[in-house]
Amino acid sequence: MTLFACGLNHRTAPVEVREQLAVEDDKLRELLHDIQATGAVAEMVILSTCNRVEVYGVADVPGEGRSAAFGHLCRHRGVALAGLEPYVYTHLERDAIRHVFRVAASLDSMMVGETQILGQVKDAFALAQTCETVGPTLHSLFTQAFAVAKRVRTETDIGRHAVSISFAAVELAKKIFDGLRGRAVLLLGAGKMGELAARQLVEHGAFPIYVVNRTWARAQELARSLAGNAVPFAELATALGAVDIVITSTGAAMPLVSRSMVAQVMQARGPRPLFFIDIAVPRDVEPSVGELAGVYCYDIDDLRQVIEANLRERAREAERAEALIEREVAKFLLRLGDAEIIPTIVSLRERLEAIRAGEVRKALARLPDAPPDTREAMEALSQAIVNKILHAPITKLRESSRAGAGRSWMQLVHELFGLGGRGDKAEGGWRPRA
């Protein structure tokens, strides 16, 4: 079995491509089951955020697992796989481990050091667990990834310089308006990132706050938490006419804010500018909306420019974090390698112990009058001999496994000592390549 990570992200694909493959939360469970049913992937976790769609898996043939996963993802979204291939990357084994650790620690994020990604990775892992697509290898990998992310956060200053989608949105709004105090904000969608952006705006004096969401109860709940007002979804256009800043973060598959809708709104509101921050993927606002006079429309890729300055501040800390991750990748590989040879070591011990115990019984049968101290001495002597014999092969197994050649030595030990099986199958899924 081989561990792999494949997908596309903000580095390899623009938002126009990423939004084609974005998966709604309620569809992930169905996709996990469908992909697993192909038999091409033994273990699997799917992560779909605004900046990445990635599959982490364990498979006999990683290429087949990758094809099965992305084939289903593309069919779900009605997208041709061939058109996405140039944007898709694949990492195997050590590189896959490193990639998962970097994603969880936010070193692969658009905004290095942001905190949302760790929660998103944990949610993806939890969902895969409920779908029973997580086996021992991915369980160990993600458990370690969460620990590594915590170490990066606590042992470096990577989170010191506040950088996030919400922070970038506020910085962008401040550039458009001469201060945010008294600016009316409309939150379209009740997602976490939109909520964080709204809270940032409130902290900078923006008021009042309106919330529009297709689920009315959620709109009311979020409006109460922001000391704002919920607005029925059917009155979206009316709400647009009353605000200065619009933050959109829905999970809609198609734009909810059209050019024609905004054009009518702008005719009624006169020269007062309207500022859209569209952090949804797929985007909630038609791109041509930004062409209208008095309308400023930014999507998630535009936020990249705002955060570049703070990213530079974090670059130095990121270097420390990268070094930490390299050490953790090495430790994880060693641990998996040790886990690979444990069944062979246990079988070897059991084999020699059975021989020792049998020979001791035979010897004592010929010495029925042997006193207790003699019996104890024979037991101790035989156990010491077994331990001496075991020392060399166990040491060699560990060394060879850590050197990436454990499989051949396990086979040799199995043949020499007549152990069950050939020793060529690691229990618990993936093993390092020999």
pLDDT in tens, the chain (434 residues): 789 999 999 999 998 889 888 888 778 999 999 999 999 999 999 999 989 999 999 998 999 999 999 999 999 888 898 888 999 999 998 999 999 999 999 999 987 888 889 999 999 999 999 999 999 889 999 999 999 999 999 998 887 665 667 777 787 788 788 788 999 999 999 887 788 888 888 888 898 999 999 999 999 999 999 899 999 999 999 999 999 999 998 988 899 999 999 999 999 888 889 999 998 889 999 999 999 999 999 888 887 666 666 667 677 788 889 999 999 998 888 777 777 788 888 888 888 999 999 999 999 999 888 899 999 999 999 999 999 998 888 888 888 877 767 677 888 888 888 886 545 444 444 444 43
The structure tokens listed for 278 are 């569209």
Q: Choose, from 6, 50, 131, 297, the residue flagged as catalytic.
A: 50
pLDDT, position 411: 81
CA angle 32, 38, 41 (to 5 degrees): 65
pLDDT, position 144: 94
Active site (annotated) includes residue 297:
no
pLDDT, position 63: 92
pLDDT, position 341: 80
pLDDT, position 426: 44
Give me the long-range contacts of 337-342 (CB less than 8 A, separation at least 24).
Answer: 337/401, 337/402, 337/404, 337/406, 337/431, 337/432, 338/398, 338/401, 338/402, 339/426, 339/427, 339/428, 340/401, 340/406, 340/410, 340/426, 340/431, 340/432, 341/397, 341/398, 341/401, 341/406, 341/410, 342/427
pLDDT, position 428: 44
Residue 166: beta bridge partners?
none
